């Protein structure tokens, strides 16, 4: 950052383009914007926060910051789990939380055009009034924003059948690192005019541009779902059932794993009364209509049993079924109440899920670290939660070593270091294990082309 610039200079210089009340400089308020939910990721003091309300305001800020060498860190709702939105020294944080317009829902074309601050569940609810559905549903969907979901290519519970955010983004409006406001992608069902630059922005974690508008494709409303639950004595048995579901040729609309530690934490917090007499619970859903769906539900029950379930059945109580999935969504915040949580996000091929779950248990034992487990089990996206008592530095060091070992093991099984949370700060060393030097250089070349001065979210992902 230029030593000659402080926040009064910044605000005064942009006074003709950005109203003064858009800026936050109160240190206590600024601090709340300086980090996401990754408790272990470092962050620094920001110069100011801009709560932008238009693309023009974002563009004016980026142009000024480029001229003065000031880093710019974009932020959505701050629900990230990898430190991707954390402040770097002397940066300006651009919060998109107040850009909340659903500009258009087109029933004929089945698309929605939205600003980045629209909350995921709010978009889903508004689409439902038109008989349409936006499938990506991260566990944070009641709070996370579409812009943040795009930045990390968020997945969620439905993604085993319906795909992740990338599968639904048709186009974006973006402010580049040079301060250009550009439209990428399309609003048509098909299109191959040039490179897929809109796709490039999905998962770029704010390092290539600041997204100010998104066009997403929609589907008809989802069919009524059947819920199947299975209880297991061990993670490995649950992993075998996950593999058996795939072997049976089933594509469930959801297949989630929650261990007893997580369910008990939810019960202790919300008093939902759903803790089961099992060490691990698998929750599956089938949304295929009619007799075919009934058959698929029965086959999933058999797959659970073949995998070693001590009990498995299709639920006949919709309230109970909904409560189980609500508990799954609450598992992470419930575990956070017990102490700092270091969250993993590896994804491995389905055939290796049992072995990877076994390895996670072995790594926890080897480092004497408590590890709880939730997972988007149907697509191999595992979320081991490493729990550390507050102010226990020795255990924190052991947990970090376990975190690194889990990444290495995931890669050994042909997996990836992050399925949906992004690289941010926590997975940078893992990314260097996963990608070759030549491929990393390709990433850096793209970064340099779109952000030649390196002001957009510097120090994140691979830089």
Tens of pLDDT along 88-141? Answer: 999 999 999 999 999 999 999 999 999 999 999 999 999 999 999 999 999 899
- Tell which CATH architecture fits domain 226-412: 3-Layer(aba) Sandwich (3.40)
| pLDDT given at position 4 | 64
Q: What is the DSSP letter of 156?
A: B
In the predicted model, residues of the chain with pLDDT beneath 50 are: 1-3
**Residues 357, 415 contacting (CB under 8 angstroms):** no
CATH node for 102-220: 3.30.465.10
By C-alpha distance, which of 367, 377, 374, 436 is closest to 406?
367
Opening angle at CA 284, ends 247 and 203, nearest 5:
85
Give 31: exposed, middle or buried? Use CB within 10 Å, 0-12, 13-18, 19+: middle
CATH topology of domain 7-95: 3.30.43
Q: For residues 250 and 241, give the distance between their C-alpha atoms in angstroms, rounded to a whole number.
A: 12
The 10 Å CB-count burial string (b at 16+, else e) for 421-449 is: bbbbbbbbebbeebbeeeeeeebeeebee
**Residues 334, 261 contacting (CB under 8 angstroms):** no
Q: For residues 143 and 427, give the distance between their C-alpha atoms in angstroms, rounded to a whole number.
A: 23
Q: 């992740």: which residue's tokens?
A: 164
Q: 């709340």: which residue's tokens?
A: 32
What CA–CA distances, in Å, run from 361 to 74, 358, 386, 402?
36, 5, 11, 10
3-state DSSP assignment of residue 285: strand
Q: Which helix (H) or strand (E) holds 149?
A: helix 146-152
What CA–CA distances, in Å, run from 141 to 159, 160, 177, 218, 330?
13, 16, 29, 16, 11
Q: For residues 279 and 26, give the distance between their C-alpha atoms in angstroms, rounded to a whole number.
A: 47
Bridge-based pairing state of the strands 280-286 and 92-95: unpaired
| pLDDT given at position 1 | 42
**Residues 18, 60 contacting (CB under 8 angstroms):** yes
User: Given its phi and psi angles, is residue 377 left (phi above 0), alpha (psi -120 to 50 degrees) or beta?
Assistant: alpha
| pLDDT given at position 336 | 87
What CA–CA distances, in Å, run from 186 to 19, 76, 199?
32, 23, 11
Q: For residues 230 and 251, give the distance between their C-alpha atoms in angstroms, rounded to a whole number.
A: 17
The residues of the chain that CATH labels 3.40.462.10 are 226-412
The residues of the chain that CATH labels 3.30.465.10 are 102-220
């Amino acid at each position: 950052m230029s030593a000659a610039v402080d926040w009064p200079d910044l605000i005064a210089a942009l006074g003709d383009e950005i109203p003064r009340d858009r800026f936050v400089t109160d240190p206590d308020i600024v601090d709340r914007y300086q980090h996401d939910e990754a408790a272990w990721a470092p962050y620094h003091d920001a110069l100011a926060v801009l709560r932008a309300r238009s693309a023009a305001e974002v563009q004016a800020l980026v142009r000024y910051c480029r001229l003065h060498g000031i880093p710019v860190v974009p932020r959505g709702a701050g629900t990230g789990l990898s430190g991707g939105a954390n402040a770097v020294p002397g940066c300006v944080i651009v919060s998109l939380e107040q850009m909340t317009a659903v500009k258009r829902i087109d029933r004929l074309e089945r698309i929605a055009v939205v600003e980045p601050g629209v909350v995921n569940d709010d978009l889903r609810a508004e689409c439902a009034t038109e008989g349409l559905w936006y499938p990506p549903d991260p566990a944070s969907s009641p709070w996370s924003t579409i812009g943040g979901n795009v930045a990390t290519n968020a997945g969620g519970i439905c993604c085993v059948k319906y795909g992740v955010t990338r599968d639904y983004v048709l186009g974006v409006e973006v402010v580049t690192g040079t301060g250009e406001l550009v439209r990428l992608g399309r609003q048509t069902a098909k299109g191959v005019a040039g490179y897929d630059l809109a796709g490039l922005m999905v998962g770029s974690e704010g390092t290539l541009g600041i997204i100010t508008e998104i066009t997403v494709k929609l589907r008809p409303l989802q069919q009524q779902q059947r819920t199947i639950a299975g209880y297991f004595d061990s993670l490995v048995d649950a992993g075998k059932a996950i593999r058996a579901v795939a072997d049976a040729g089933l594509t469930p609309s959801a297949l989630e794993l929650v261990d007893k530690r997580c369910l008990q934490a939810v019960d202790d917090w919300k008093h939902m009364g759903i803790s089961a007499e099992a060490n691990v619970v698998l929750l599956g859903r089938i949304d295929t209509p009619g007799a075919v769906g009934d058959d698929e539900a029965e086959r999933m029950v058999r797959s659970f049993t073949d995998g070693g379930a001590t009990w498995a059945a299709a639920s006949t109580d919709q309230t109970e079924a909904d409560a189980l999935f609500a508990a799954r969504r609450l598992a992470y915040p419930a575990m956070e109440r017990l102490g700092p949580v270091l969250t993993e996000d590896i994804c491995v091929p389905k055939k290796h899920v049992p072995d990877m779950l076994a390895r996670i248990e072995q790594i926890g034992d080897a480092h004497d670290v408590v590890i709880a487990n939730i997972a988007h089990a149907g697509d191999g996206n595992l979320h081991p939660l490493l729990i550390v008592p507050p102010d226990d530095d020795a255990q924190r060091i052991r947990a970090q070593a376990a975190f690194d070992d889990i990444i290495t093991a995931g890669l050994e099984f042909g997996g990836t270091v992050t399925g949906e949370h992004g690289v941010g700060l926590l997975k940078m060393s893992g990314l260097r294990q996963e990608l070759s030097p030549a491929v990393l250089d390709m990433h850096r070349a793209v970064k340099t082309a779109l952000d030649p001065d390196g002001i957009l979210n510097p120090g994140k992902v691979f830089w």
